Structure 1
């Protein structure tokens, strides 16, 4: 990792001053495939407020000097929405025993420096400090292989996630709705969860 990059774990009110910059970064990164998110600042600020309000949540920030160049969110599953909890409950998992990693966003210029690995390490460390979790999870969108906006050189992150100890669980599915770049309104997107077993 570049020596001028620093990583910080923050929770609660310490995050407030970073909300506008985090919203901007999320909108910028999620425009790319596979999310193709036509971002909305109002939604982003409301979404990020969840992490400020929950004392057990965490956002891991990556800085280059004073500039935020990456961020990664996580929260105990019990504080998440019903659409996130439902597939776990239906498959016999207890929400109190699952720690949910929301997403990671990183400026393109800083990829390949090990920051993504640190994001997982810091979120897992936070889960360990809280204690009581048997599983850590995240979810990702499923896009068809012939999607018109899929770049020719696109490489899924499956191998990276497997190396971190996470494996795809096709039985754990939900849907999130957002407006794609080419759409005039929100549409539901299929999301599949990945799990790291027997953690903590």
Structure 2
């Protein structure tokens, strides 16, 4: 069955949060996030999308099953770590749309779904009048013991879509790595483009 892409807002967005939580735990467990997630944390973390005007989930469905999702919301609704690089540089954060997570079941990769995730979130942001789009990508050391030998960074994909690293913009955000007992802050590079 072909994958169907749906733009979810309002009650449709709210209804997808439990499935998104499960998908995030599964996909983010792998490199480079290495995230030791819990359903309780996920449900609390994701509830912000249900409470934010302008938030969106782009869902990829195989039948009724959510196999991939990408989220976004106005930057002004985001945590200070993600807002600060723009505020410090004098940007009006009311003009920036934040592209948050993008997760896809590995069995569905290589079909152009990642491009659709960006296309649909950017289109949503433009419809709402945003001038810029931004996201953050985790930075792990090249010699990290969990790095797969066949890993290819997504930087070329992002650049092809018009995104560039925002100079000297590394933010730190905490989560618990697989096998760790507690959360630690991870560096994340800010990427940015004009819509």
Do the structures match in fold with TM over 0.5?
yes
Is residue 9 of structure 2 the alignment partner of residue 43 of structure 1? no
Equivalent residues in 2 for 1:48-87, closer than 5 Å = 48-87=46-85
Q: CA deviation at 1:48?
A: 1.4
Kept in 2, the 8 Å contact 1:169–1:193? The answer is yes
| CA RMSD, Structure 1 to Structure 2 (Å) | 1.1
Q: CA deviation at 1:17?
A: 2.4
Q: CA deviation at 1:16?
A: 2.4
Q: Which runs of 5+ in 1 are unaligned?
A: none
**Separation (CA, whole Å) in 2 of partners of 1:138 and 1:16:** 22
Task: Output one character per residue of 1:94-149: Cα deviation in whole Å (capped at 9) or x when no partner.
Answer: 11111100010000000000000000000011011101x22111001110000000
> Which residue, 4, 19, 22 being the options, matches 1:21?
19
- Normalising by structure 1, what TM-score? 0.94
| Residue of structure 1 equivalent to 2:138 | 141
Q: Which runs of 5+ in 2 are unaligned?
A: none
**Separation (CA, whole Å) in 1 of partners of 2:169 and 2:95:** 15
**Separation (CA, whole Å) in 1 of partners of 2:13 and 2:117:** 16
Q: How many residues align?
A: 195
Task: Output one character per residue of 1:40-89: Cα deviation in whole Å (capped at 9) or x when no partner.
Answer: 11111112111111121100000011111000000010111112111111
| Residue of structure 2 equivalent to 1:88 | 86
| Residue of structure 2 equivalent to 1:169 | 166
Task: Output one character per residue of 1:12-53: Cα deviation in whole Å (capped at 9) or x when no partner.
Answer: 222222222111100000000100000011111112111111
Kept in 2, the 8 Å contact 1:12–1:51? The answer is no
Kept in 2, the 8 Å contact 1:170–1:192? The answer is no
